[in-house]
């Protein structure tokens, strides 16, 4: 393997097609959640983020999602109206707005994540153990492979 080009053993067209099929599968998998839970992808991601980091500052949400703070504010407004998250000023600094997951939001994000687990658990039933381990290892390394900062 060429250290300057670790993909040198894979024909470029095969690489492009495989990567497209991978991202297509993820996109369609996520779209099923969008349709099944009545939320857009960004809202689902925000709920999952808040499940792991709540309360979160509006600025942290905008940074994590790589969107302007005004867009994050509109998204939060919609989810506050649905009653799945809440927003309040920080007690020590009234300029800071904190967003928290509400119990109904916790139940919703749990249902979303259960949905993913159940589908993958079912679909992996016919896959051999070595391929399951390879899938999980690839998923675990995805942030490193794509040079995305690790999630908190």
3-state DSSP assignment of residue 68: coil
Q: Maximum distance among all alpha carbons in the chain?
A: 57
Domain count, the chain: 1
High-pLDDT (> 90) share of the chain, %: 81
Task: Specify the pLDDT at position 152.
Answer: 60
- On whether residue 64 sits in a domain, the answer given is yes
**Confidence grade of residue 93 (pLDDT, cut at 50, 70, 90):** confident
Q: What mean pLDDT is predicted for residues 134-143?
A: 92
Q: What mean pLDDT is predicted for residues 51-69?
A: 94
- On whether residue 23 sits in a domain, the answer given is no
For 9, which DSSP code?
T
- On whether residue 5 sits in a domain, the answer given is no
- On whether residue 128 sits in a domain, the answer given is yes
Task: Specify the pLDDT at position 79.
Answer: 97
Angle, CA 143 vertex, CA 141 and CA 145 arms, to 5°:
65
**CATH label of the domain that carries residue 107:** 1.10.10.10
- Looking at the predicted structure, is the pLDDT value of residue 151 above 70? no
Residue span of the structural domain in which 76 resides: 39-145
Task: Specify the pLDDT at position 92.
Answer: 82
Higher pLDDT pick, 95 / 41: 41
Give the mean pLDDT of the chain: 92
For 125, which DSSP code?
G
Ordered DSSP codes for 108-122:
HHHHHHHHHHHHHHH
Q: For the chain, where are the alpha helices, taking DSSP H only?
A: 12-37, 41-52, 58-65, 69-81, 103-123, 129-145
Task: Specify the pLDDT at position 5.
Answer: 80
Q: What mean pLDDT is predicted for residues 98-110?
A: 97
- On whether residue 25 sits in a domain, the answer given is no
């Amino acid at each position: 393997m060429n250290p300057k080009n670790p993909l040198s053993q894979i024909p470029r067209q095969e690489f492009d097609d495989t990567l497209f099929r991978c991202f297509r599968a993820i996109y369609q998998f996520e779209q099923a959640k969008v349709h099944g839970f009545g939320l857009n992808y960004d809202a689902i991601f925000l709920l999952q983020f808040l499940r792991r980091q709540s309360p979160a500052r509006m600025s942290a949400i905008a940074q994590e999602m790589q969107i302007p703070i005004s867009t994050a504010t509109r998204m939060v407004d919609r989810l506050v109206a649905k009653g799945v998250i809440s927003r309040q000023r920080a007690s020590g600094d009234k300029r800071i707005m904190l967003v928290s997951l509400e119990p109904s939001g916790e139940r919703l994000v749990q249902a979303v994540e259960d949905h993913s687990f159940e589908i993958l658990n079912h679909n992996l039933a016919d896959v051999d153990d070595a391929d399951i381990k390879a899938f999980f290892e690839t998923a675990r390394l995805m942030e490193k492979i794509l040079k995305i900062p690790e999630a908190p």
